[in-house]
Amino acid sequence: MEIPHEVTPRRDTGLYNAKLGIWLFLASEVMLFGGLFSAYVFLRVGIQDGVDNPWPWGLNVHKDFVWLGFINTLVLIASSVGVVFAWVALKERNWKLYQRYMYAVVGCAVVFMCLKGIEYNSKLNHHFGIKLKDNSVMEGALVNNTDRIRFEGTSASVSLQGAVPVFIKSIPKGEFPTFKVVEGPGSEEGVELHSDSELKAWFHKERRAISGKLTEERKRYRSELASGVANPTPVSVSSSAKLTSSEPFVLNANPRKVVLHSDSVVNFKDGSKVEGKLISDDVEFIVHEVDLQLVLPQKQRESMVWNVINDDGAKQQFFEQQDTEYRHLREYYEPRGEVIPEKMLRGHILNLHDVHLGGHHGDDHGDDHHDAVHKSEPKPSAEGAEEAGHEREEALHGDHGHGGEHSIKVPREDIKFMGNHGPRYGNYYAIYFTMTALHGLHVIGGALVLLFFTVFGKKLYLKNPEHLANRVEVGGLFWHFVDLIWIFLFPIMYLL
């Protein structure tokens, strides 16, 4: 059996099957990315000023990355050209040249993904932000996972229904203590659990036992009901257990999994509870920027952020810079006879990168950081931005310990929201990561297919070169589409 029009185009449609198929597939891809573009526009247009997080203007977040994006655009364009040249080489029956072009294309894909990886890594690991209760935001870097609640546990209570308790995940690797079951519904009291896999096995066993007991109890209850007992004894099966550890164990609890914590107890969202002693729940943070875009102008001077930073110099610098920016805005709007839009008045970002901070950091730094603050005069914005860009590039390359970067302690109860610049951080980041990751998956998929045609194509080439040329054309169509998507992603994600 042979399927018609696998290689030769059908006369009335002018297409062979695979080409028609890929165009149909691309049509659905248009709708897929179209849905995401619609989401982008909808989310961006739908921002309510002063309530939702403002859309970070592409360049503000991307100052460091815009060049990566630019290079990536060129790389993808080059690879697109590579595919058409490879196809032409195949049409001219030049296998060697075809292979060379195709390897170049796959190489471009690898370069693209590497640059993407650098960008992701930097966003996820080197940028962190904290939003305080009054919506003021500090951007900077986190010191050693201090967003976790550091806790010293001695005992834990778990519910034996539902899923495996989350607190096990908060125990650092290799520091799992020996737990002893002290209170439990089963006959298992006194059992010792040495590792998390043992704990999980114990948990599953107990859960089964309890569900068996529950079945029995309910049977009894229903039969009592059926036999007409007015008030049957209610079903009661204890399903909680308590574990104690021989020695205190370290717990780095993910705040997203915790409902409530106090000096002596951490309550997790799934109902498990660890008792012990709180080591510290302060977030240690190196401030690079202060962002008061969500704070009303008249409230900015009393914003919580100044209590947290506790540095008059920085505050003064912020407002001096704000004045400068206002002046720039006035210079733009006043000659045009327009009023400065309120949105513009609100947004201010202070770049503190060159400022030494250390309000909470003991006396030994005290003097010199104050000096530094006073020395750093507000600069004209363009120059300042450039300099900041340089310094941030240094930060990007992992150089966090350079001159006078000091962390401050941010009390957890002041924090409304915090996170790295991952997808969680705001809708810009969310759509950025979703779209670029989806696009990246397309790049990987396309590159694998093209690589397959290059490495294993020889057999087909010898049998029917036109068939291989068709395949490369179809693979190329997909590849160009991936390029086409990036052409739109580059301006909307990095520049606008």
Partner 1 sequence: MAESTHDWAKHKKSYLAVFIALCVFTCITLALGLVPWLDFGPPGPTPADFVVGLAIAGVKSSLVALIFMHLNHEKGLVYKMLVFTFLFFLSLMALTLFAGADPIREQYDTYETTNGKLTEEL
Partner 2 sequence: MSAATAETNDQAHEEHHHVEPFWKKYIFSTDHKTIGLQYGFTALVFLAFGFFLMMVMRWSIAYPDRAVPMLADWPWFQAWLDDGGKVTGDLYNMFGAMHGTIMVFLGIVPLAFGAFGNYVTPLQIGAPDMAFPRLNMASYWLYLLGGVLMFVSFFLPSGAAKAGWTNYSPLATTTDIHYGDLFWTGQTQWLVAMALLITSSLLGAVNFICTIINLRCRGMSWMRLPFFVWAMLVTGFLLLLAFPPLEVAAIMQLMDRLAGTSFFVPTGLNVSGMAFDAAGGGSPLLYQHLFWFLAHPEVYVLILPAIAIVAEIIPCNTRKPLWGYKTMVYAVMVLGFLAFIVWAHHMYITGMGPAISTFFQTTTVLISVPSVILITSLLISMWGGSIRFNVPMLFATAFIPMFGIGGLTGLPLAFSLPDLHLHDTYYVIAHFHYVVAPGTIFGLFAGIYHWYPKITGRMMGTRLGHLHFWPSLIFMNGIFAPMFFQGMAGFHRRAFDGGKAYEQISTQIFAEPNTFIANACEMLNVIEPDAAVRMIDLNIVTSGSAWLLAVFQVPFIINLFISKFIGKKVNSDNPWDATTLEWATPTPPPHGNFLTEPVAYRGPYEYSVPGEARDFSPQFEDDPSTIPSEDKKDKESEESSV
Which residues between 168 and 187 bind partner 2 (CB under 8 A)? 169
3-state SS class at 150: strand
Tell me if 495 contacts partner 2 by CB under 8 A.
no
x-marked contacts with partner 2 along 230-259 as a string, rule CB under 8 A: ----xx-------------------xxx-x
Cα angle value 88/89/92 (rounded, 5°): 90
Residues in the chain: 496
x-marked contacts with partner 2 along 73-112 as a string, rule CB under 8 A: ----------------------------------------
Cβ burial, residue 63 (10 Å; 0-12/13-18/19+): middle
Tell me if 12 contacts partner 2 by CB under 8 A.
yes
Which sign, positive or negative, has the C-alpha torsion 297, 320, 368, 130? positive
First to last CA, the chain: 55
Stretch that binds partner 2, among 44-52, 62-70, 71-79, 145-153 (CB under 8 A): 44-52
Q: Judged by CB, which is closer to partner 2: 429, or 486?
A: 429
Tokens of 91: 């049409």
Separation between Cα atoms, residue 485 and residue 108, nearest integer Å: 16
Tell me if 46 contacts partner 1 by CB under 8 A.
yes
Which residues between 305 and 364 bind partner 1 (CB under 8 A)? 328-329, 332-333, 344
Measured from the CB of residue 65, what is the shortest distance to partner 1 in angstroms?
12
Which residues between 197 and 236 bind partner 2 (CB under 8 A)? 211, 214-215, 217-219, 221-222, 225, 234-235
- H runs (alpha helix) in 92-195: 95-126
Q: Judged by CB, which is closer to partner 2: 215, or 238?
A: 215
Tell me if 124 contacts partner 1 by CB under 8 A.
no
Strand partners, 409: 284
CB 82 within 8 A of CB 108: yes
Query: 12 — phi, psi (to 5°)?
Result: -80, -30
CB 356 within 8 A of CB 317: no
Residue type, 223: S
Separation between Cα atoms, residue 212 and residue 253, nearest integer Å: 33
Which residues between 415 and 434 bind partner 2 (CB under 8 A)? 416-417, 419, 422-427, 429-431, 433-434
CB 259 within 8 A of CB 267: yes
x-marked contacts with partner 1 along 54-93 as a string, rule CB under 8 A: ---xxx------x---x--xx--xx-xx-xxx--x--xx-
Q: Judged by CB, which is closer to partner 2: 97, or 235?
A: 235
Measured from the CB of residue 426, what is the shortest distance to partner 2 in angstroms?
5
Q: What is the DSSP annotation of 244-257?
A: EEEEEEEEEE-GGG
* Residue 191 interacting partner from partner 2, partner 1, none (CB closer than 5 to 8 Å by kind): none
Q: Any residues with CB less than 8 A from the CB of 116 and at least 6 apart, and which?
A: 72, 436, 440
* Residue 178 interacting partner from partner 1, partner 2, none (CB closer than 5 to 8 Å by kind): none
Q: Any residues with CB less than 8 A from the CB of 49 and at least 6 apart, and which?
A: 342, 343, 346
- H runs (alpha helix) in 227-278: none
| Among the listed residues 7, 30, 97, 209, the single contact to partner 1 using CB under 8 A | 30
* Residue 193 interacting partner from partner 2, partner 1, none (CB closer than 5 to 8 Å by kind): none
Tokens of 150: 């550091």
Measured from the CB of residue 487, what is the shortest distance to partner 1 in angstroms?
5
Q: Distance of CA 408 to CAs 202, 253, 283, Å?
A: 43, 21, 8
CB 281 within 8 A of CB 223: no
* Residue 411 interacting partner from partner 1, partner 2, none (CB closer than 5 to 8 Å by kind): none
Measured from the CB of residue 189, what is the shortest distance to partner 1 in angstroms?
50
CB 134 within 8 A of CB 304: yes
Stretch that binds partner 1, among 50-58, 121-129, 145-153, 416-424 (CB under 8 A): 50-58
* Residue 419 interacting partner from partner 1, partner 2, none (CB closer than 5 to 8 Å by kind): partner 2
* Residue 77 interacting partner from partner 1, partner 2, none (CB closer than 5 to 8 Å by kind): partner 1
Which residues between 413 and 472 bind partner 1 (CB under 8 A)? 466
| Among the listed residues 234, 298, 362, 383, the single contact to partner 1 using CB under 8 A | 298
Closest by CA to 484, choosing from 60, 37, 40, 15, is 37
Closest by CA to 450, choosing from 95, 32, 48, 83, is 83
Q: Judged by CB, which is closer to partner 1: 273, or 471?
A: 471
Cβ burial, residue 413 (10 Å; 0-12/13-18/19+): exposed
Measured from the CB of residue 100, what is the shortest distance to partner 1 in angstroms?
15
* Residue 298 interacting partner from partner 2, partner 1, none (CB closer than 5 to 8 Å by kind): partner 1
Measured from the CB of residue 235, what is the shortest distance to partner 2 in angstroms?
4
Separation between Cα atoms, residue 266 and residue 168, nearest integer Å: 13
Tell me if 68 contacts partner 2 by CB under 8 A.
no
CB 181 within 8 A of CB 189: yes
| Among the listed residues 53, 73, 321, 351, the single contact to partner 2 using CB under 8 A | 53
Residues that bind partner 1 (CB under 8 A): 13-15, 20, 23-24, 27, 30-31, 34-35, 37-38, 41-42, 45-46, 48, 50-51, 57-59, 66, 70, 73-74, 77-78, 80-81, 83-85, 88, 91-92, 296, 298, 328-329, 332-333, 344, 382, 466, 473, 476-477, 480-481, 483-484, 487-488, 490-492, 494-496
